[in-house]
Amino acid sequence: VKNQTILNKVVGIQVGNGTFDNLTDPVIIVFNKPSPVKAIPKCVFWELQQNGKENGHVIKDF
């Protein structure tokens, strides 16, 4: 998906079932306030039961 803007912050993040300690690089998530645009909001989430398969994401129109 290209040319998409996140309008709200991520509510939660899950990476597999394991624990990640002593990472060599930090995990950085940056949010910038988007410029006002005419937008069609969508809700995007992942079906965690799909075990990371490419088709595990879901996009819903409001």
**Residue 50 backbone dihedrals phi, psi, to 5 degrees:** -80, -5
Tell me which residue of 47, 51, 49 sits closest to 59, measured CA to CA.
47
| Residues in contact with 3: Cβ distance below 8 Å, sequence separation at least 6, in sequence order | none
**8 Å CB contact between 62 and 43:** yes
- Is this structure's pTM higher than 0.75? no
Q: pLDDT digit string (tens) for 3-14?
A: 666 666 666 676
Q: Which residues pair with 44 in a beta bridge?
A: 59
Terminal C-alpha separation, the chain: 18
Percentage of the chain lying above the pLDDT 90 cut: 0
